[in-house]
Structure 1
Amino acid sequence: MRTRERAPPERAFGILNIQNMSTQQKRIRKDDGSRPPKSDGSSMLDRSPPFDLSAEACVLGCLILNPDVANDLTLILRTDDFYDDANRKIYSAIISMFDSG
C-alpha cells in the first residue's frame, strides 16, 4: 500500500503562503500561465451577458403566485433585466397591471 506524501506547510490545505516563498518562486507562480490574460474589455462587447431562463421563469411564477412582492421587486428588477423577450413582456404586463390597481 502506498502512503501519500505530506504536503509542505506552504501548500497544506491548498493555501499558498507567499511569505515563505523566494522571489524566484513568486515570479514563477505569477507567470506560470495558470491565470487567463487580462482583457482590455473589447471581447466583452462580442459576448451576450449571462442569463438563466429558468431563473426568469421562477421570478415570473413567484410574482404571479404572490403579487404582494411586486412593489419590492420593482425596486430591484427592471424590465430590461430579462434576457428573454417574452419574459420581458410578461414582466412588463404584470407590473403595469400592479401599477393600475
Structure 2
Amino acid sequence: MPLSNEQRNQLKTMGHDLPAMIVTGDGVNEGVIAELDRALADHELVKIEISSEDRAERAAAISELCRAGRAELVQTIGKQALIYRKSPQPDKQLSNIHRSG
C-alpha cells in the first residue's frame, strides 16, 4: 500500500537523524538483501547508502532493494535512501518508528 504524503513526511522527519544502517558499494547481492530484510524486520525505517558514483546505478539499486525487501521508498538524497516496511509485530525496543514517537 503506497504511503500518503502525510505518512511520507512523518517518516522523513523520523529518519532525518538516522545513521545509514546498510552501506553498499558492490551493488545488490544476496547478502545485502538479507541484511536489509533483517534491518527492516527489526527497525521498520532504515537508511541505506549506495556508494556508486553513477546516479542511474544508484536509482536501480534502490529500486531493486525496495522490491526485494517489499518496502516503500520514503526519500532519496544523494547517495542515501530512506526505506520503510511496516512490521506485523514490531519490537518497541528496536523499531525506529516506536522509539521516535
**TM-score, normalised via structure 1 length:** 0.26
Task: Give 1 or 2: higher strand fraction.
Answer: 2
**TM-score, normalised via structure 2 length:** 0.26
Task: Give 1 or 2: higher helix fraction.
Answer: 1
For CA contacts below 8 A with separation 6 or more, give which structure has more relative contact order.
2
Give the structure with higher Rg (CA). Answer: 1
